[in-house]
Amino acid sequence: MFGFLDVWLNVSIWVGVILIILGFIGLIKGADWLVDGASAVAKRFGISDLVIGLTVVAFGTSMPEFVVNMISVAHGSTDLAITNILGSNIINTFVILGLTAAIYPIATQARTRNFDIPMSILAGGLVVACIFLRPLINSEEKGIDYIGGIVLLLIFIYFLINTFVHAKHNPDDPNVDEVEIKQISLMKSIVLILIGLAGLVIGGELIVKSAVNIAMRLGVSEAIIGLTVVALGTSLPELATSVIAAYKHNADIAVGNVFGSNIFNVFFVLGTSALINPLPAYEGIEVDACMAALGGVITWLVIKANHDRKVTRWGGILLLVVYSGYLTYRLMSV
């Protein structure tokens, strides 16, 4: 269906860059339209705003990563599938949270400190565990297989149940987002859903094919492209939202959003990907998985180091410095 892209991609590397940008636009707008349409339909069926916020909206924010992973797995680009998730989580914590806190200190809520951050740390740790345990169970090759995917999805189900119970009993918690459901006709809602799905699929195809082509032309691994270009692109909406919120001194929910996204990415997106097709390890995956977990550890320590329980400016700067060192190391080790 998208075979014509191969012709365009062979013209110039800049064509690939343009197609990736168009792909990100398709992903981001597609996810927005899908969420708007699906939320309106759910509201028509009498589903509460709370449930819509915790399901449709929450899943919608992870749609860019999910679609890129599904298409990557379908094309056999498993390195891109794993690094898209690990890279997104690393950028979420070190870049988005670091830059946001460097602009203005971020307050945190008890649930974020006691549940979301530890769950995010667990996510990175489980990726490492799955990689090293696979050869001991049923394969000579490191990676994340069906068993690892099932474990990740089971923990995701626990996370969802825990989140629902908490939200139901703590409606005033700032981390329980109040979603504003747009009043849209049924026909328009269906059109938005269809256009949104089309935007996600087309955008995902453009990104995956262009990323693989660029990696081949530059002589670098798909893993590096996934950790940098693809991961940053799928995290752009969160980056823009968090930075603007920090500039307006209104970034209190940024920490919860970042780690909530990290949890969705690993337990749901990566778990589903591994269930569809085993994901073999690539060179440097241990470093990337450890970095994904380290972001949560550093953030937790920064929060615990001050009485206000904030991610302070120096904490944000520390996250950015650590990321700079990590990125330099990964690029030099190519």
For CA atoms 192, 257, 174, 52, give the dihedral sign. positive
pLDDT-based confidence at residue 177 (cuts at 50, 70, 90): low
CATH number of 50-178+214-332: 1.20.1420.30
Please determine, for residue 251, whether its predicted confidence score (pLDDT) is greater than 80. Answer: no
Distance separating alpha carbons of residues 71 and 129, to the nearest angstrom: 25
- Dmax (CA) of the chain: 59
- The structure's pTM equals 0.85
CB 267 within 8 A of CB 149: no
pLDDT for position 38 = 84
Domain boundaries, the chain: 50-178+214-332
Please determine, for residue 232, whether its predicted confidence score (pLDDT) is greater than 70. Answer: yes
Residue 212's Cα: distance from chain center in Å? 20
Average pLDDT of span 126-134: 82
Average pLDDT of span 132-140: 67
Q: pLDDT (tens digit, 9 = 90+) per residue, 62-103?
A: 788 888 888 888 888 888 888 889 999 999 999 999 998 998
Average pLDDT of span 104-132: 87
Average pLDDT of span 205-232: 81
Residue listed under structure tokens 């990175």? 124
CB 296 within 8 A of CB 93: yes
Please determine, for residue 5, whether its predicted confidence score (pLDDT) is greater than 60. Answer: no
CB 274 within 8 A of CB 145: yes
Average pLDDT of span 216-225: 80
Least Cα distance to 309 among 155, 76, 110 occurs for 110
Least reliable range by pLDDT among 164-168, 186-190, 304-308: 164-168
CB 67 within 8 A of CB 76: no
Q: How far is CA 279 from CA 50, 246, 269, 272, in A?
A: 35, 37, 12, 11
Least reliable range by pLDDT among 14-28, 172-186, 240-254, 269-283: 172-186
